[in-house]
Amino acid sequence: MQKQNVKLLLVMFVSVLLIIATAISCGQPTSEPPQEPSITTTPQSAPPTVPAVSIEEVTTTVGARSTVKVVFLNATDGLSGYMFRVFLINPEVAQITNVVFPDFGSTESSSLPNTTVEIAALDLRDIVSIGTEEVLLATLELEGLNSGNSGIAIEIMAMENDNNSPVEPRILPSSIEVR
């Protein structure tokens, strides 16, 4: 019975020591200031920038020729190729007389002059790589026929990024004014 009493006293003694040590350490200042609980946040990424196709607006005169650029904006996933149609809403005002392409490697357009042109290109030289913000797709030459205004519209038939995934760009409005 004596051995049990010694064990019980020993356990009580150690417990009291632990309680006293804890009380002392909680009441004394330490060399490090208490730390605030850390909160980790992950910043929200900005919504992805929407790819868009834009044609410059132009003002010209009857009989004069002017050029406008067709530009692909926010091509952050690159561009492997495209096919689209450009047409004038009011064919009495102007016509498309020429198409000039960047040096992509493989380009094609339908017959001109006309009020509609189909344009296609493949970026065989990888000119438009991932991370590109703005890409010149083509330069159009327009000739004023009669005074007036016309919208310039684009219909995307096919467009793919460097991962060969389809791209569905927003089409920005454009127009030509002939004086």
What is the mean pLDDT, run by run of 10 residues, along the chain of 179 residues? 48 46 48 43 49 95 97 93 97 97 91 96 89 92 98 97 94 96
| Residue 10 identity | L
DSSP state of 166: B
The pLDDT score that the predictor gives to residue 141 is: 97
Whether 60 is covered by a domain: the verdict is yes
* Total tally of structural domains belonging to the chain: 1
Whether 25 is covered by a domain: the verdict is no
Distance between CA atoms of residues 129 and 114, nearest Å: 32
The pLDDT score that the predictor gives to residue 55 is: 96
CB atoms within 10 A of CB 77: 19
> Per the structure block, which two tokens stand in for 67?
């050029």
Whether 65 is covered by a domain: the verdict is yes
The pLDDT score that the predictor gives to residue 151 is: 97
Whether 31 is covered by a domain: the verdict is no
CATH number for 92: 2.60.40.680
- How far apart, in Å, do the first and last CA atoms of the chain sit? 118
Domain that includes residue 169, residue range: 52-178
Whether 47 is covered by a domain: the verdict is no
Whether 159 is covered by a domain: the verdict is yes
Query: What are the phi and psi torsion angles at 74 (to 5°)?
Result: 60, 50
The pLDDT score that the predictor gives to residue 2 is: 52
The pLDDT score that the predictor gives to residue 63 is: 97
Whether 30 is covered by a domain: the verdict is no
DSSP string, 61-128: -BT-EEEEEEEEE--TT---EEEEEEEESSTTTEEEEEEE--S-EEEEE--SSBSEEEEEEEETT--S
DSSP state of 146: S
Closest CA to 94 of 151, 171, 155: 151
